Amino acid sequence: MLPTHDRYRYSSIVSRPDYTWPGGRRLAVYIAVNIEAFGYGVGKGAAIAPPDQAQSHSIYSWRDYGNRVGVWRFFDLFDALGLPAEAQMNVEIYTQCPDIPERIRKRGDEILGHGVTNSEEQGHLGEAAERDLIARVTSTIERHEGARPAGWMSPWLSNSGVTMDLLREAGYRYVMDWTMDDQPVWMKTRAGRILSMPYPIEVNDTRGVIWYHYSSEEFADLIVDQFDEMLEQSERQPLVCPISLHPFVMGRPYRIRQLRRALEHVARHRDRVWITRPRDICAHIEGLPTGVVPGSEDT
């Protein structure tokens, strides 16, 4: 027998019931901003330096640019284009950079659970320790924002065998750690269902620009091509087009010019698409009848 995870069953996108997004739209678009805190001299490095420099001051400060400069360029760009956003944010940001969540709050954007820092993963933790981590992150966001987060993304997408179970037991409604579909699908846990929200591995600037070595122009073209093709394909089935950004990558001056070009292209189609946040996609899916979304029949 082929080893499997038993979280979801196979379902081809062409065999599923049809539905629409609010307003009869067929394509939902969301922008995910990774706002992260890194410990000095610890944790994983990045593919911009040799492995023996992974914990160097140069890598630390390269990432720190994102919180000091890059994310503020993002906020100004989103404001200028009238675009909502969602932030998967390490809760250490509340202590280290409190004006960042303040700006997110003023914009009305969504904050996801995203661990404490991105120098720490969770997939290696024992069950009790992972449960405590999730509880700490959840309570911190609730204390600052007045409400519990609806969604979760694990640092580095790291999962243990019980991560989905623990998130559902902690009250999370959706997760962005699994990347197998262009539509939201329900996943099984020992406490009921949790929604898997589409999340991009390749329309993601750390992968595209840093790992795959795309130029800024090529990455912007990737966003445009992904959007245009999905807009056409959405005539046949409703789709989600996510865009993942890191302030220390696309927040650089020469890169943000290309990002602006791509997001202007998306914004010009706002009359045809639903530009939204993942929590609103989740709420819409939760309101659909049983049998429409894969896995909705599972309890």
In the predicted model, what is the mean pLDDT of residues 134-152? 98
For 121-131, the pLDDT digits (tens) are: 888 999 999 99
d(CA 126, CA 128): 6
Give pLDDT, residue 61. Answer: 76
Does the pLDDT value for residue 279 go beyond 90? yes
Domain boundaries, the chain: 21-44+51-286
Quote the crossing angle between the two packed helices 216-233 and 253-267, to the nearest 10°: 20
DSSP string, the chain: ------S-----GGGSPP---GGG-SEEEEEEEEE----TT-S---TTS-GGGTTSHHHHHHHHHIIIIIHHHHHHHHHHHT---EEEE-TTHHHH-THHHHHHHHHT-EEEE--S-TT--STTS-HHHHHHHHHHHHHHHHHHHSS--SEE--GGG---TTHHHHHHHTT--EE-S----SS-EEEEETTEEEEE----SSSBHIIIIIIS---HHHHHHHHHHHHHHHHHHTTTS-EEEEEEE-TTTTTSHHHHHHHHHHHHHHHTTTTTSEEE-HHHHHHHHHTSPTTSSTTTT--
Does the pLDDT value for residue 53 go beyond 60? yes
For 94-107, the pLDDT digits (tens) are: 999 999 999 999 99
For 177-216, the pLDDT digits (tens) are: 999 999 999 999 999 999 999 999 999 999 899 888 999 9
The phi and psi torsions of 250 (rounded to 5 degrees) equal: -80, -5
Give pLDDT, residue 41. Answer: 66
CB 134 within 8 A of CB 166: yes
d(CA 148, CA 27): 27
CB 194 within 8 A of CB 162: no
Count of Cβ atoms closer than 10 Å to residue 138 Cβ: 19
Give pLDDT, residue 63. Answer: 79
166 — pLDDT class (breaks 50, 70, 90): very high
32 — pLDDT class (breaks 50, 70, 90): very high
pTM, to two decimals: 0.94
Count of Cβ atoms closer than 10 Å to residue 32 Cβ: 24
CATH class of 21-44+51-286: alpha beta
d(CA 62, CA 9): 41
In the predicted model, what is the mean pLDDT of residues 134-139? 98
